[in-house]
Structure 1
Amino acid sequence: MFGLAFAMGTPAGGQAAGGGQSALMNLVPLIFMFAIFYFLLIRPQQKKAKEHRTLLDSLKKGDQVITAGGMHGKVTAIDENVVTLEVATGVNVKINKGFIASLKKD
């Protein structure tokens, strides 16, 4: 009776005809969706992260910068992970280096 249940719904003793092709055809939409996600989401995000790392590595004393919070200031000192900004005459603020968003364009 157990063998009869397998033989009832599918031809050729339990295997679907063209089973290899249908499995491959089921993967094609998934591969297509991954390619779309890669080119529209993942790749641009990696490119932007690389540009940000380059910006942080090129920071030097005297640069005018804008932080992620919107604060404008001039770099007065740079440590490994901390940047000291002068936001007003005599007012220095220490922030994490990763929070520098961009260089200020004059």
Structure 2
Amino acid sequence: MGAILPLAEPAPDAGPAGILQFAMPAVTIALLAYFLLFQPQRMKDQRLRQLVDNLKENDHVITSGGLHGVVTAVQREQGRVTLRIDETTGAKVRVDLWAISRVADKDSENTPSDSKTKK
């Protein structure tokens, strides 16, 4: 005949220590996600908002649609900016302030004044 196996005893109530043991990894993962993902994005958004708030004429900007232009007028009340997008014809376009995705350096290669095309 086979041996009779004892029945497993029910697990004792874990209580507060068991809940803490279960919640600690979740809290640790949430903190890591905050500091590695959310905090850097929040700081980047804050820097961009500060750059847009300090926008002035002759600043080189890039819109979220990829337009490169030079600021010719800032209309803060309407939330708009007028950009000169073509140096030769003087073509201008009005965009909303929220559409500005980057303020470019005047010396960088990605400025609108660069008329050279790389092949």
User: Which residue of 2 is the match for residue 102 of structure 1?
Assistant: 102
Shift of 1:9: 4.2
Shift of 1:10: 5.9
Using structure 2 for the length normalisation, give the TM-score.
Answer: 0.71
Q: Secondary structure at the match of 1:40?
A: helix
Using structure 1 for the length normalisation, give the TM-score.
Answer: 0.79
Runs of 4+ more than 2 Å apart: 8-11
Q: Secondary structure at the match of 2:70?
A: strand
Shift of 1:68: 1.6
Shift of 1:77: 0.9
Alignment of 1:69-88 (within 5 A): 69-80=65-76, 81-88=79-86
The CA distance in 1 between the partners of 2:17 and 2:93, in whole Å, is 64
The runs of 5 or more residues in structure 2 that have no matched partner are 1-8, 108-119
Aligned length: 94
The CA distance in 2 between the partners of 1:10 and 1:24, in whole Å, is 17
Which has the larger share of helix?
1
Seen in structure 2, the aligned counterparts of structure 1 residues 10 and 62 have a Cα distance that, compared at 3 Å, is: closer
User: Which residue of 2 is the match for residue 66 of structure 1?
Assistant: 62
What one-letter code is carried by the residue in structure 1 that aligns with 2:90?
G
The CA distance in 2 between the partners of 1:23 and 1:91, in whole Å, is 65
Seen in structure 2, the aligned counterparts of structure 1 residues 74 and 10 have a Cα distance that, compared at 3 Å, is: closer
User: Which residue of 1 is the match for residue 116 of structure 2?
Assistant: none
1:45 to 31, 38, 41: 41
Q: Secondary structure at the match of 2:56?
A: coil
Q: Secondary structure at the match of 1:32?
A: helix
RMSD: 1.7
